[in-house]
């Protein structure tokens, strides 16, 4: 007897501290409910750290029951060999739905066609995280039916598809950023120092990643005053003021402070890659806008 596997549930769980994003969620719900013949294509766009990936994870988990045939996930960010990664992801998708290894084609086009065939008429959700080329979406897209593809991208991937719904994420409003910071660092610490808390939140500029880093900086020193952290960040901001290409020096100061606090071993770990990248500036690995030609997503020339 062969045991049929459960439908894949590859999308990572969202943070338990998920906050707000009501407008974006409502837009995504409306777009996914509109009549269509092909899969719905939703693009969450916005600056790094604004919460695109978290929102995609949260949305899929919230709407899990609407996509009973499978939830697929692939992280495309920082991938030097996009074709290889897409091909491997398709193989994983097919294995997860019990396609025999010997039946999986060797070529990228063959695997893409095989996934489209399997998914046609089914209801699946596919999260393509960190997309930077339309071809990645074309290859990983399910076949016609009431499926959904959620793309996250720093810049809206133009020319993707005229049917894509692009949802630009906004920074968190102050009350929501405060709630998130309170979850991470204890609300009573913020209430005890309202002025310092206000300044710290202003430095975060509503960027969830900055709020998370600020929360982590406070949490790892439970007896430290919020005002002491604000003072440290002011110093970092002054130090960084010579770098004119850094757009938001408060946020950059936050990452520099967090990265500087890590031990040597931790600095080389994969988990801090994101903090290090943001402290250092734009990523050299992802492609920039076509008109620039450099390999940076956040090239200062854009
Ligand atoms: N709405 C939210 N509530 C709570 N935490 C959030 C929220 N949005 C994002 N975060 C947290 O902020 C951090 C950055 O979020 P995320 O990775 O989703 O950003 P991103 O826009 O995908 O960044 P990148 O462009 O670098 O991929 C994560 O630690 C995430 O858990
Ligand atoms: Mg992301």
* Overall domain count for the chain: 2
| pLDDT greater than 70 at residue 20 | yes
Q: At what angle do helices 208-219 and 226-240 cross, to 10 degrees?
A: 130
Question: Is 11 domain-assigned?
Answer: no
**What tokens appear for 191 in the block?**
């209430």
Whether residue 164 is found in the same domain as residue 232: no
Domain boundary among 153, 168, 183: 168
Cα 280 to averaged position of ligand 2 atoms, centre (Å):
18
Whether residue 110 is found in the same domain as residue 206: no
Q: Work out the mean pLDDT of the chain and round it to a whole number.
A: 83
pLDDT score at 298: 39
Whether residue 187 is found in the same domain as residue 162: no
Of the bound ligands, which one is closest to the alpha carbon of residue 169? Answer: 1
Whether residue 30 is found in the same domain as residue 155: yes
| pLDDT greater than 50 at residue 184 | yes
pLDDT digits (tens, 9 = 90+) for 96-118: 999 999 999 999 999 999 999 99
Question: Is 298 domain-assigned?
Answer: no
| Ligand 1 atom with the shortest distance to the CA of 56 | 18
Cα 76 to averaged position of ligand 2 atoms, centre (Å):
9
Question: Is 111 domain-assigned?
Answer: yes
Residues lining ligand 1, judged by CB closer than 6 Å? 15, 17-21, 46, 48-54, 77, 130, 152, 154, 180, 208-209, 212
How far is Cα 231 from Cα 214, in angstroms, rounded to an integer? 13
Domain enclosing residue 178, as ranges: 174-280
Domain boundary among 168, 191, 211: 168
Whether residue 216 is found in the same domain as residue 255: yes
| Ligand 1 atom with the shortest distance to the CA of 54 | 18
Which of 26-40, 228-242, 266-280 ranks highest by mean pLDDT?
26-40
How far is Cα 301 from Cα 269, in angstroms, rounded to an integer? 30
Q: What share of the chain is helix, strand, coil (3-state, %, to 5)?
A: 50, 10, 40
Using the structure block, give the residue that is written with the tokens 């102050």.
174
pLDDT score at 271: 38
Q: Is the overall model pTM greater than 0.85, yes or no?
A: no
Cα 51 to averaged position of ligand 2 atoms, centre (Å):
7
**Confidence class for position 248, pLDDT limits 50, 70, 90:** low
Whether residue 84 is found in the same domain as residue 207: no
* Residue 48: CATH number of its domain: 3.40.50.300
| pLDDT greater than 50 at residue 281 | no
Whether residue 202 is found in the same domain as residue 250: yes
Question: Is 36 domain-assigned?
Answer: yes
**Confidence class for position 240, pLDDT limits 50, 70, 90:** low
Residue whose Cα lies nearest atom 15 of ligand 1: it is 51
């Amino acid at each position: 007897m062969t045991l049929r596997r459960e439908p894949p549930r590859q999308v990572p769980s969202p943070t338990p501290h998920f906050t707000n994003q009501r407008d974006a969620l409502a837009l995504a719900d409306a777009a996914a409910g509109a009549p269509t013949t092909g899969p719905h294509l939703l693009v969450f766009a916005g600056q790094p750290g604004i919460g695109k990936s978290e929102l995609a994870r949260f949305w899929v988990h919230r709407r899990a029951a609407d996509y009973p045939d499978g939830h697929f996930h692939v992280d495309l960010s920082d991938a030097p060999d996009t074709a290889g990664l897409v091909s491997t992801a398709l193989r994983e998708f097919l294995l997860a739905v019990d396609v025999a290894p010997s039946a999986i084609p060797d070529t990228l086009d063959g695997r893409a066609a095989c996934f489209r065939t399997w998914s046609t008429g089914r209801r699946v959700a596919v999260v393509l995280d960190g997309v930077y080329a339309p071809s990645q979406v074309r290859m990983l897209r399910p076949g016609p039916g009431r499926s959904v593809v959620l793309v996250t991208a720093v810049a809206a991937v133009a020319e993707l598809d005229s049917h894509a719904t692009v949802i630009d994420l906004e920074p968190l409003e102050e009350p929501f950023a405060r709630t998130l910071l309170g979850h991470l660092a204890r609300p009573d610490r913020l209430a005890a120092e309202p002025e310092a808390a206000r300044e710290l939140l202003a430095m975060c500029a509503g960027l969830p990643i900055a709020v998370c880093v600020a929360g982590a900086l406070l949490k790892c020193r439970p007896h430290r005053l919020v005002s002491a952290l604000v003072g440290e960040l002011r110093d970092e901001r002054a130090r960084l003021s010579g770098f004119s290409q850094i757009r938001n020096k408060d946020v950059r100061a936050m990452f520099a402070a967090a990265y500087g606090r890590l031990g040597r071993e931790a600095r080389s770990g994969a988990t801090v890659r994101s903090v290090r990248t943001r402290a250092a500036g734009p990523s050299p690995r992802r492609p920039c806008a076509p008109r620039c030609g450099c390999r940076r997503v956040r090239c200062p020339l854009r």
